[in-house]
Every structure is written in structure tokens, then in C-alpha cells.
A = this chain, B = another copy of it.
Amino acid sequence: MTVPPADRRRIVLLTEGHSEPVAGKTASCILRYCGDRVVALLDSTQAGRTAGDVFGVGGGIPVVGRLADAGAADELVIGIAPQGGRIPPSWRPVLCEAIDRGMRIVSGLHDFLGDDPELVAAAAARGVELRDVRRNDEREVSHRQGLREDCLRILTIGQDCSVGKMVAAVEIVRGLARRGVDAKFVATGQTGIMIEGDGCPIDRVISDFVNGAVEKQVLAHQHRDVLVVEGQASITHPRYSAVSTGLLHGCMPHGMILVYEAGRTHHMGMPHCPLPSLERVIAAYEHLAEFGGGGRVIAVAINSRLLTSAAAAAERDRVRRTLGLPAADPVRDGCDELVAAVESLRGVLPSPAADGGSA
């Protein structure tokens, strides 16, 4: 069968049993940025509701209990990340049914669909593609050569996982584009790659090649005026600091945007590990950045989804006052203040010889 091009595929999002914003953050972000292509969510525990009901985004897109109820679709996207990144046995029937219907399957799990003999055989028999977004063969170390200093590199960094680093990066790129700046979102995680259509799943790269894989992304896109690189976890995170440090030194940011979720007190999934303060996270990042790029934190993106409007406004004031930095919730407040911080930094870059400068 002929599969339509990526930007015209009709998507069913598999969120079985996890239609909520944290476990289902892939689904949530696809609803936010590619919602016009999503025909249904598949979650038998929430059938009859809408995406807007269960995710707060996606409006009237229906949640269905069976693939047969979803209407015509070309692609099944696994929208949730089960513990350990493995494919739960209970998903097999629906994956097989989707293949049988000729749908492409897209997965960001650590367990690859393409390594599963049953799914591979079924897909081959039906002529269907299994797309594992995290699969990569990165084998290049960083070289620290050939970086253009007239392309502004911004990295979103975090106090923890799943705080909104990808959303902040995408929103800043969109805000820059609205001002006529040729900006590019550099995706470094599976959801970002699904949305942007390119990027590198750096948490799946062999550790020796993480810095190099990130540098390769920068080199590939530095003909743009601004690159906003999607951050991962935190260099202070007990589990994932390797990923975050490789990202920092691989992209050598000129500036960083700190992202956090207001009200979160401990690392997600680690109730025995309190979060370090924002001040300590900033100090750690700026210290390690001295060994690559020398960038500073230039603004704060607040994820205030757990707060009332009044509490969010108070939190924003508190952060501006205590950290002395521009601060905004990119979803609630819009991105103007964060975009302005990026543009200010852009003003101090060296002018490119060819086009007369960006200052």
C-alpha cells in the first residue's frame, strides 16, 4: 500500500490505561503540535471521552476503545512510555491488528518493534513499516571543530525529567519564527523527533558517542540563525546526568533556558530524592558549561500546570525576583519574554560576513 507523506498521515495514538499528561507525555505533545493529524486516542479505559477531557489538549478528538472505532488512519503511534521501556504483552493484539489494517507503527520505546520476531513477521507479510524512533547507529565522537559562532545555540535545561523542556524549545522556536527569525528546533528525544521529523534520540546513543551525536546535529543545522536544542533530564539528575552532560558539552550553548515544574519537590519516580533548588541547578550548569560554550542561563520557563492562575502569577514574580531572570510559563503566558531573552543574546553574537549581521 502507499503510505501518505508524514505531514498528511492520519494518526491513532495508543494511550491504553495511561491517558494522563505524565505517563502519556508523548501523546500529549503530539496532540499539542500535530493534533490536526490525530483521528483518535485508543484507550479502552477512557472510551467515550475526548482528548481535551483526558489530556487538556486536543479538544474534541475522540477516545475510542477499539481500533475499529477510530475511523480511517495510516499510522499507530505509541503515545505512552511504560516502566522500563518494554512492550507490555497486553498491547500485542492491538499492534497486530493495526499491522493487519496496513497501518505503520511508530514507537519511541527502548524495546524495538523491529527486534520483535512476531511483529516483524506480521509487518513483512502486510508490507507495513515498523518505525523505532530511538534506533540509531551513532558512532562519531565530538570534534569541537567547524562550529559557526554566528549561529546562536540555545539549550533548554531542567530541574528534572518531564518538566516541559521540549515544549519550551518548540514554543521559543515558534515565537522566533513569528518575529521572522530563521530558527530550528533540534529534537533530542523520541517525541521531539516525531514532531519535528528529524533529530537524534540521544538517551539511546552509546555513551561514548553522546557528545558527538549532539555536535553532529548542530553541524547539520547551523546554517540557520538560531538553534534551540531540546534538553534532557538534568546534569544533577541521579539517573540521567550522563545524557544531560553529553548534551550540554555536545551543543556548547551560548545560552540556556531553565525549565521546571512549580510544585514538584522530588525527582519523578524517586520519592527519596529531593530536587535541588533552581539556584543550585543553574550554578551546576553554568559551571560545567565553562568547559563547553561558556553559556549562562538567560531565562526561566515555568511549567505551572499544577497551579491556579493566581498562584502561577505569584510564582512567576517570585522567580523573576529571586533569580533575577526573565520568567514565563510558555503555555499559560506565551513565550514573548523568553523569545526576547534569546533575541537579546543574539544581538551580541558576531555578525556573519555574508548577510550583514543579525544584531
Contact = CB atoms under 8 A, between A and B. Distances in A.
Contacts of A249: 237-238, 241-242
Q: Which of A207, A237, A249, A284 has the most B CB atoms < 10 Å from its CB?
A: A207
Contact of A288 (B85, B143, B284): B284
Given A141-B239, A284-B287, 14 more contacts: A84-B139, A110-B139, A144-B272, A202-B207, A207-B207, A207-B243, A207-B246, A237-B291, A241-B245, A242-B243, A242-B246, A280-B290, A284-B290, A284-B291
A65 interface: no
Contact of A270 (B84, B144, B207, B244): B144
Nearest to A269: B141
Interface in A229-264: 235-249
Contact of A207 (B205, B236, B280): B205
User: Looking at chain A, what size class is its interface with the partner chain?
Assistant: 35 or more
A239 B210 CA distance: 8
A265 to B, nearest CB: 16
Interface in A5-39: none
A162 interface: no
A273 interface: yes
A241 B211 contact: yes
Contacts of A351: none
A208 B243 contact: yes
A184 interface: no
A142 interface: yes
Contacts of A192: none
A160 interface: no
